[in-house]
Amino acid sequence: MDLTRQQAETLQRLDAQGFQIVAFPMYASYIGVRKGDCAALLAPVPSGGFTVFGTPTCMVGDNLGARVKHGDGDFFVWKNEKLEATPQRTSELDQFSAELTATLNPSA
């Protein structure tokens, strides 16, 4: 993926804030960012920046989890694996999302 100067600077800012830049092979057109047990996909935009693709989520193993509600609770799932969406996990995810948004949009 060819990056603009603005995108490279954004990735450097994310790194400085403790985000890891990671690759998710199933999502080769996007840049993954991870911090703790949370992750998101970034989509390049024509103006030179990034937007969050989809919704930030919790990791299930080495994979992006999908948040689902079952009769027995709220979970992050990947195939047959699932993690309960505990208050601690959802709080960590909320903090991750807020930090990611603030770092992507520093002037907002």
Q: Where are the domains of the chain?
A: 5-102
pLDDT of residue 108: 59
Please name the amino acid found at residue 37.
D
Q: What digits encode the pLDDT tens for the residues 35-49?
A: 999 999 999 998 888
Pairing, β 50-60 against β 31-35: unpaired
pLDDT of residue 87: 96
pTM: 0.92
Tokens standing for residue 88: 């601690």
pLDDT of residue 1: 72
Residues of the chain with pLDDT under 50: none
> Cα–Cα distances in Å, from 41 out to 30, 58, 87?
6, 12, 23
